[in-house]
């Protein structure tokens, strides 16, 4: 008889104060069940990531595990494991009584992450300038128009989502998956925060919208122009947000108006 097989640590090991245990040999069907559960957890995790980057959850949103399991058509276990993975990545906060909510960024945290974004997203935009296809540029026009329409009509959630798809289309066009992964990790924390832009800190620009300058630079295949436009979009578009975050941090205004 050989030694019993050690169980591979799961996503929640160490977080629930349970010791690593060993298990005796189990039939292949049991291993397949574990694989199936891991696949479900991965799918839930990816769906939650996408929703967070698109801004479908705002800071402070509390997740109801049972409700989320029903909406995704899975059991509560993969929901819980996916949420705990996001807690470890500091995207979500675990609060009292094991309540899990979307983390809120302070003004200092937002500005620190924006400094990193200027470098990463500026580089991605620069690389995309000579690699992006005409069809992708056409998609950008549609995403920007969707953003403009949503802002005009006061459909704030649609505006946040359209803005994400505009930026994500550019960064994917760079063709650098490692870089894209770094950018998306930051957007997991940044996406929900953009919900407080509207209606109190709607982005404004000195001249034309920087998204239009981004598109012009891409059409001209001008890396320098695209990089500059993306970076100025982050600076100009986020200036009012920083002012609002400062007021929230100082307790002058609530996170969300009544």
Residues 73 and 55 in one domain: yes
Separation between Cα atoms, residue 217 and residue 195, nearest integer Å: 28
**Same-domain status, 226 and 120:** yes
- Answer for the pair 14, 81: CB distance below 8 angstroms, yes or no: no
Phi, psi angles (nearest 5°) of residue 23: -130, 150
Same domain flag for 40 and 92: yes
The parent domain of residue 182 ranges over: 107-249
Quick one: average pLDDT of 161-185? 98
Same domain, 193 and 117: yes
User: Do 126 and 217 share a structural domain?
Assistant: yes
Q: Residue 199's Cα: distance from chain center in Å?
A: 21
Place of tokens 């470098």: 119
Element (DSSP H or E) covering residue 1: none
Please count the structural domains in the chain. 2
- For residue 70, being part of any structural domain is answered with yes
The rounded distance, in Å, linking the Cα atoms of 93 and 77 is 18
Per-residue model confidence (pLDDT) at position 67: 95
Looking at 45, 76, 102, the residue that finishes a domain is 102
Residue 150 pLDDT > 60:
yes
Task: Look at residue 16 in the predicted model and tell me its pLDDT.
Answer: 35
pLDDT of residue 19: 35
d(CA 101, CA 92): 6
Each residue's pLDDT tens digit, 218-256: 999 999 999 999 999 999 999 999 999 999 999 999 999
Proportion of the chain above pLDDT 90, given as a percent: 83
Mean pLDDT of 140-165: 97
For residue 189, is pLDDT > 90?
yes
Structure tokens at 246: 């400062």
Are residues 169 and 87 both part of a single domain?
A: no
Q: Is residue 68 part of a domain?
A: yes
- Tell whether 161 and 90 lie within a shared domain: no
- Whether 134 is covered by a domain: the verdict is yes
Which of 70, 102, 134 is a domain's end point? 102
Tell me the pLDDT band of 95, cut-offs 50, 70 and 90: confident
The model carries a pTM of 0.83
pLDDT for the residue numbered 159: 97
- Please say whether the beta carbons of 159 and 150 come within 8 A: yes
Q: For residue 102, report the phi and psi dihedrals to the nearest 5 degrees.
A: -70, 130
pLDDT the model gives residue 233: 98
CA dihedral 177, 179, 185, 189 (to 10 degrees): -130
In a domain, 161, yes or no: yes
Using the predicted structure, report yes or no on whether residue 146 has a pLDDT greater than 90.
yes
Assigned domain for 52 exists = yes
257 part of a folded domain: no
Reported as a single tens digit per residue, the pLDDT across 15-70 is: 333 333 333 334 444 443 444 567 999 999 999 999 999 999 999 999 999 999 99
The per-residue pLDDT for 30 is 41
Same domain, 28 and 72: yes
Q: Is residue 74 part of a domain?
A: yes
Averaged over 92-101, what is the pLDDT? 87
DSSP 198: T
pLDDT for 36 equals 56
Residue 90 is predicted with a pLDDT of 94
Whether residues 58 and 118 share a domain: the answer is no
**Does the CA dihedral 27-28-30-34 come out positive or negative?**
positive
Co-location of 38 and 52 in the same domain: yes
Asked whether residue 8 is assigned to any structural domain, the reply reads no
- Verify that 80 and 113 share a domain, yes or no: no
pLDDT, mean over the chain: 88
The answer on 89 and 111 residing in a single domain is no
Looking at residue 165, what is its pLDDT? Answer: 98
- Mean pLDDT, rounded, for 107-115: 98
Question: Could you tell me the CATH number of the domain that includes residue 126?
Answer: 1.20.120.530
């Amino acid at each position: 008889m050989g030694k019993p097989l050690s169980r591979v640590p799961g996503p929640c090991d160490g977080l629930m104060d349970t010791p690593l245990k060993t298990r005796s040999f189990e039939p292949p069907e049991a291993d397949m069940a574990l694989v199936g559960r891991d696949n479900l957890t991965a799918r839930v995790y990816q769906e939650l990531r996408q929703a967070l980057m698109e801004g479908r959850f705002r800071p402070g949103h509390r997740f109801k595990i049972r409700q989320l399991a029903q909406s995704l058509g899975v059991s509560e276990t993969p929901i819980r494991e996916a949420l705990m993975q996001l807690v470890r990545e500091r995207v979500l906060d675990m609060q009292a009584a094991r309540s899990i909510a979307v983390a809120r960024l302070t003004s200092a945290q937002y500005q620190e992450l924006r400094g990193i974004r200027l470098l990463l997203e500026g580089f991605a935009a620069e690389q995309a300038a000579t690699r992006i296809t005409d069809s992708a540029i056409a998609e950008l026009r549609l995403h920007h128009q969707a953003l403009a329409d949503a802002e005009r009509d006061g459909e704030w959630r649609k505006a946040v989502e359209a803005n994400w798809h505009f930026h994500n289309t550019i960064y994917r066009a760079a063709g650098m998956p490692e870089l894209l992964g770094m950018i998306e990790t930051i957007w997991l924390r940044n996406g929900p925060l953009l919900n407080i832009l509207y209606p109190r800190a709607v982005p404004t620009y000195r001249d034309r919208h920087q998204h239009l300058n981004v598109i012009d630079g891409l059409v001209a295949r001008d890396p320098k122009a695209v990089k500059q436009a993306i970076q100025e979009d982050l600076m100009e578009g986020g200036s009012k947000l920083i002012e609002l975050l400062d007021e929230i941090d100082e307790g002058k205004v609530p996170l969300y108006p009544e």
